[in-house]
Amino acid sequence: MTQRSPSANQGPAIHAEVLSAARRLSRAGDWTFRLGDVVRALPHLNQRSVRTHVASRCCVNAPRHHAHRWPYFRRVGRGRYLIELAFREPPPRPAETDEDLVLSDRVAEPGFTYGAPARVPRSTIHAVIAKSEAWFVAECLEVAVVTQGRTLDETLANLREALELHLDQDELARLGLASAPRLVVSHETTAFAA
């Protein structure tokens, strides 16, 4: 099997985006990060591909299942990884412009900056619904929206309503989302009844 190098229109390779996200998310001082945080930081990539890259292709102490690997990380605990010393240098930051400085004075925190700025607005918002005691809890991955309901239908209706209230056209544009995004919901449940 031959590996294709990414072309100019495909953007950076997945392993490079994973390393960049891990650097941004690593804890100050100890260079560790959580796998789930990297998956959430790269919503434009396939979740399984991101998980495979962190846990296997880019992990020096993972079993050797892939022909090509990058020695970026070391697993140090359940879902926790350490960036290897040779890859701890953060990517160079672009030079600040006067406009950047003015904008940074107006907001306490930068907006959603995971990954490269999207050229084409993303058309999907992802959410996960899980059962928590007597309630179903829904959490969006790209947007700070969490809601609940007693049934799956009620939870889904509450989620749609919360998203409509939270996302106006300006907020959609700021997050790089299309004006009428689709909602993709995953329902987490146990595989076997207790």
CATH number at residue 136: 3.30.160.620
Q: Are 83 and 19 contained in the same domain?
A: yes
Residue 110 lies in a domain: no
Residue 141 and residue 121: Cα distance in Å, rounded? 16
The answer to whether 160 touches 147, Cβ cutoff 8 Å, is: no
Residue 194 lies in a domain: no
Q: Are 33 and 77 contained in the same domain?
A: yes
Tell me which of 70, 87, 104 is where a domain ends: 87
Residue 1 lies in a domain: no
Tell me which of 68, 87, 106 is where a domain ends: 87
111 Cβ neighbours under 8 A, 6+ residues apart? 174, 175
- The band of 52, judged by pLDDT with boundaries at 50, 70 and 90, is confident
pLDDT one-digit tens code per residue, 85-139: 888 875 555 555 555 544 444 444 444 455 545 456 778 888 899 888 889 999 9
Residue 129 lies in a domain: yes
Per the model's pLDDT, the better-predicted residue between 84 and 192 turns out to be: 84
Q: Are 18 and 83 contained in the same domain?
A: yes
* Alpha-carbon distance values, 102 to 17, 99, 105 (Å): 28, 5, 5
Most confident of 15-19, 120-124, 140-144: 15-19
pLDDT of residue 106: 43
Q: Which domain holds residue 126?
A: 122-188
The answer to whether 177 touches 168, Cβ cutoff 8 Å, is: no
DSSP E strand boundaries for the chain = 32-34, 73-77, 80-83, 122-132, 135-140, 146-149, 177-188
pLDDT of residue 93: 56
Number of structural domains found in the chain: 2
pLDDT of residue 120: 67
pLDDT of residue 68: 74
Tell me which of 87, 114, 136 is where a domain ends: 87
Q: Are 131 and 182 contained in the same domain?
A: yes
Residue 153 and residue 165: Cα distance in Å, rounded? 19
pTM, whole model, 2 decimals? 0.43
pLDDT of residue 169: 83
- DSSP class of residue 87? G
Residue 115 lies in a domain: no
The answer to whether 38 touches 50, Cβ cutoff 8 Å, is: yes
Name the one residue in this structure whose structure tokens are 């996302």: 167
Residue 153 lies in a domain: yes
CA-based Rg of the chain, rounded to a whole angstrom?
Answer: 19
Mean pLDDT on 162-169: 87
- The band of 45, judged by pLDDT with boundaries at 50, 70 and 90, is confident
Residue 177, pLDDT above cutoff 50: yes
Q: Are 83 and 126 contained in the same domain?
A: no
If we measure between CA atoms, which residue out of 151, 20, 28 comes closest to residue 87? Answer: 20
- What is the residue-averaged pLDDT of the chain? 78
What is the identity of the amino acid at 67?
A
pLDDT of residue 99: 53
Strands across the sheet with 135-140, in order? Answer: 146-149, 135-140, 122-132, 177-188
Mean pLDDT on 48-55: 87
